[in-house]
A and B are shown apart, each in its own frame.
Chain A
């Protein structure tokens, strides 16, 4: 891996294509377009073979030539390679021939796909000499930065809105992160954090480290393709917050074709949003190239970004792959969380409810054909959003410590079922 740095070529503006050195920077100085990592795919093709990958440990780093670090990963070496589950019971309920669940609800160490992007951002931050890392988050990202920074011996700052629920704050405090609650509206916190990122010279994972951070999402696509027997799925349904995950999963499939690891096909990537925060799906349904900013109002807090940074690019990818977007309301999100739990034994967070709910609609309306095969991306664990389903799952029945009472209860249940 001493030659790993040769696989990354430069940071490249997604708008004008201008190239920049591989530093901690994220915006093109010419047109303020976002920067993205560019690779030398010819060189990667020579060393990254199926045999090489399969000989490596089962983590996201088995595809390390396609991830933006120079040396061996130093943070989150166990992250990724989460299960891809053939969901036959759920497939029957949705009426589709074949369905798979990519289950990042059990990703290591903080039970969400954010561990992928954070381990890349922090590994790169260490390579660039940073000792302090930071993020602004209401949940999964904060937990992941706090946990991964702790294990890497990095100092971490986590910025949150001050009215965030206590449970979510504890999930970052426990790792020893400096958690700063900022009084103000969500968008005010957002803006202050953009300023802080520019002023203090820390590795702010989704600001100045964003080009590297975002690349971590591609590993989900690599794993799906390998776990399907080295092929891209026909349809992938992906939750959209900023829209970055969707664009990176698409990029991941394309890269595997480029380096000769999978045959060329035309995988379609579909976006899922909550109706209470659906700027991208609303634009997609209306046939627009641009989204209109919205004020979020949904139980799917992890997807509640009213001004999605990669919304434009997510729309472009859906258009290019001839796919679509869909959104679901809060009741449909809860129903989908229960459906996944009851059919496949997977408890997803609200974003998972959004993705499954949207997939259900896309299959019902025929945008995803029933005779095809699809992959649903579950990105976080239901234990993180218990409040969203609390009071919507029924209650335990209570009985006295009496066998007779229990038998009476069973009889009652059987007659109710009949």
Chain B
């Protein structure tokens, strides 16, 4: 449950970054469907994703590899990816 909340929190933040950076209209972070296909249904391209990845890098201190872009086609998948990277990071610090 905690984990799910964490991913949801990240998802909301990612949705807001997308809205701000890509100037998306008629949607809020809360109404942004986390499972909508960003490529097919929102029309996001690799340049858009690279822009979002840079803002995520600033905010969370993690890197999204270019090779991973094709996997990140929904807000939920991006949030899970970031959650995983943050966990890896905290494990490294703990070690």
Do the two shown chains form a genuine complex with each other?
no
